[in-house]
C-alpha cells in the first residue's frame, strides 16, 4: 500500500521533480527530473538528465536508489543501535515505491537504453509522469510499463500546475522537435552598450577568460557551431572547444559556415574536426540540412547578421549573453534589424534558471541565460 496521490504533501514531491529537472542542461535532449518516494511518501532517491549521452533522469534516480539501498544494507550489517526504533529498516521493497517524473519515460534505445525497460526491471510499483512524450522516436514508454504490470498515472489527474511547469521546461525543445530541426543556443558576447566590435573592427577580447571558458563548455556540448562567412573573414576563428588549460575537448563540434562568400583554404575553421559550408542566408535551410546530418543541438556564434536572422525567424531556443563591463559608444551592434518598429512588438525574453542561475557574475563579466518567450503558434 503506497501513499495517496491526493495527499497535499505530494505537492512537495512534484516541486522537487521540477527543481531536479532544472539541474540539467538545455540541448539535444529534453530536461527531465525524477523523484522516487517510499510507501510513506518519503524521498528515497532523485535524478535528473545531464545532457546527451548521459543517463536519463529515471536511470539516474534508479542508480541513486541502488546506491542508497546498498548503503542501507551495509549499515544494517554493521550497526546494532541501542534504541530498536533507530534500527535501519534495511532494503526497501521496490513494489512499494513510486517514481514521479516530469516526462513520460522513453521507450527508445539511443546512446542509453529505454527507461521504461529499466523501470520494469527495477520492480518499481507505480510511476506518475507529468508530460506525455509525443516524439515519434521515444513515445510508448507508458504503454510498455502498463503491459508489464506497473501502475501508471498521468500527471493531469494529480496536478495541472505540475504538468504546466514540466511542459514549460521543454516548450522550446518540443517546438524544435516538431519543426524537425536541432535545438539552438545563441551565443552573444558584447559590451554593456551591446557592441560586439569597435568601429575599427577590433573585438578580441571583449569578454574575459571566465566568460570564454564558459562558452567553450557550451561548444563542447553541441553537435555543430554556426558562423557567418563575414565573421570567418573578419576574425578567422578556430571555433574549437578547449578546456581551461587550452587542451582540445575530446568531442569537437561540426564547424558550419553560412553565407555565399568563399572560405579560404587557409581559414582556421577548416582546421581540427569537420567543416561544412551552406551557401544560403536562410536559417531554416541550414537547420534542416544539419538535422539531416544528425545534428540535434547547434550553437549560433555570430556575427550580428546571423544572430539577427535566427532571432527574427524565431529559431533561437536559448541565449547565453555575456556582457563585458565596458562602453564603446559607436561600434558594431550585436543585432541588426529585427523588423520591430514599436516597443509593443519587442522580442520578449525570459530569464532562464536552468543549468545555473539566470544572472551571474563571471569574473568581471555578467552572464545572462535567457529563453525567448514561447508563444505556441
Binding site for a copy of itself (CB under 8 A): 191-195, 197-200, 202-204, 206, 308, 311-312, 321, 325-331, 333-351, 358-361, 364, 366, 368, 370
CB of 192 to a copy of itself, least distance (A): 6
Residue 194 CB, shortest distance to a copy of itself, in Å, is 4
Angle between helices 160-169 and 171-178 (to 10 degrees): 60
Residue 36 CA to residue 296 CA, distance in Å, equals 30
Residue 305 marked ligand-binding? yes
What is the rounded distance in angstroms from the CA atom of residue 143 to the CA atom of residue 23? 28
- CA–CA–CA angle 137, 141, 142 (5° rounding): 140
DSSP single-letter state for residue 194 = -
Nearer to a copy of itself, 29 or 304 (CB): 304
Name the residue nearer to a copy of itself (CB basis): 206 or 269. 206
Q: Rounded to the nearest whole angstrom, what is the least distance from the CB of residue 320 to a copy of itself in the complex?
A: 12
Q: Is 109 exposed, middle or buried (0-12, 13-18, 19+ CB in 10 A)?
A: exposed
Say how far residue 199 (Cα) sits from the centre of its chain: 36
Is 320 annotated as a binding-site member? no
Cell 505556441, residue located: 376
Closest listed residue to residue 118, CA positions, set 39, 69, 62, 64: 62
Q: Would the annotation count 176 as a binding residue?
A: no
In the complex with a copy of itself, the residue whose CB is nearer, 177 or 215, is 215
Question: Does 58 qualify as catalytic in the annotation?
Answer: yes
Q: Which is nearer to a copy of itself, 97 or 206 (CB)?
A: 206
205 assigned ligand-binding residue: yes
> Is 231 marked as binding a ligand?
yes
3-state SS, residue 270: helix
Residue 321 CB, nearest distance to a copy of itself (Å)?
A: 6
What is the nearest approach in angstroms of a copy of itself to the Cβ of residue 299? 18
State the Cα torsion 170-175-178-182 to the nearest 10°.
-90
- Return d(Cα 19, Cα 34) in angstroms, integer: 10
The burial of 7, by beta-carbon neighbours within 10 Å (0-12 exposed, 13-18 middle, 19 or more buried), is given as: exposed
308 is in an annotated binding site: yes
Closer CB to a copy of itself, 164 or 347, in the complex: 347
Please identify which of the residues 58, 104, 165, 318 carries the catalytic annotation: 58
Catalytic residue set: 58
Residues annotated in a binding site for Zn(2+): 56, 106, 115
Residues annotated in a binding site for NADP(+): 189, 205, 231, 235, 303-309
Amino acid at each position: 500500500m503506497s501513499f495517496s496521490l491526493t495527499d497535499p504533501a505530494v505537492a512537495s514531491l512534484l516541486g522537487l521533480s521540477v527543481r531536479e529537472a532544472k539541474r540539467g542542461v538545455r540541448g539535444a535532449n529534453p530536461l527531465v527530473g525524477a523523484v522516487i518516494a517510499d510507501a510513506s511518501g518519503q524521498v528515497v532517491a532523485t535524478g535528473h538528465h545531464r545532457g546527451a549521452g548521459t543517463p536519463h533522469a529515471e536511470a539516474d534516480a534508479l542508480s541513486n536508489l541502488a546506491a542508497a539501498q546498498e548503503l542501507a544494507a551495509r549499515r544494517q550489517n554493521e550497526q546494532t543501535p541501542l534504541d530498536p526504533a533507530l534500527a535501519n529498516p534495511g532494503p526497501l521493497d521496490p513494489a512499494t515505491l513510486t517514481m514521479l517524473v516530469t516526462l513520460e519515460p522513453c521507450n527508445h534505445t539511443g546512446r542509453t537504453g529505454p527507461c521504461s525497460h529499466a523501470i520494469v526491471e527495477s520492480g518499481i510499483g507505480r510511476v506518475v509522469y507529468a508530460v506525455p512524450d509525443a516524439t515519434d522516436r521515444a513515445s510508448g514508454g507508458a504503454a510498455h510499463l502498463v503491459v508489464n504490470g506497473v501502475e501508471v498515472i498521468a500527471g493531469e489527474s494529480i496536478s495541472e500546475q505540475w504538468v504546466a511547469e514540466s511542459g514549460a521546461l521543454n516548450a522550446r525543445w518540443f517546438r524544435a522537435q516538431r519543426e524537425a530541426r536541432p535545438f539552438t543556443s545563441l551565443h552573444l558576447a558584447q559590451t554593456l552598450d551591446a557592441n560586439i566590435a569597435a568601429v575599427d573592427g577590433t573585438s578580441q577580447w571583449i569578454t574575459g577568460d571566465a566568460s570564454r571558458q564558459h562558452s567553450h563548455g557550451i561548444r563542447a556540448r553541441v553537435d555543430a557551431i554556426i558562423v557567418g562567412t563575414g565573421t570567418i573573414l573578419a576574425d578567422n576563428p578556430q571555433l574549437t572547444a578547449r578546456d581551461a588549460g587550452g587542451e582540445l575537448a575530446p568531442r569537437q563540434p561540426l564547424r558550419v559556415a553560412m553565407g555565399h562568400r568563399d572560405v579560404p583554404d587557409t581559414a582556421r575553421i577548416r582546421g581540427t574536426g569537420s567543416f561544412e559550408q551552406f551557401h544560403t542566408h536562410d536559417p531554416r535551410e541550414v537547420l534542416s540540412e544539419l538535422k539531416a546530418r544528425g545534428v540535434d543541438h547547434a550553437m549560433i556564434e555570430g556575427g550580428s547578421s546571423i544572430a539577427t536572422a535566427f532571432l527574427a525567424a524565431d529559431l533561437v531556443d536559448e541565449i547565453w549573453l555575456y556582457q563585458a563591463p565596458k562602453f564603446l559608444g559607436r561600434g558594431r551592434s550585436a543585432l541588426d534589424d529585427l523588423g520591430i518598429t514599436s516597443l509593443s512588438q519587442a522580442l520578449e525574453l525570459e530569464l532562464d534558471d536552468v543549468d545555473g542561475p539566470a544572472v551571474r557574475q563571471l569574473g568581471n563579466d555578467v552572464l545572462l541565460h535567457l529563453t525567448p518567450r514561447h508563444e505556441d503558434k
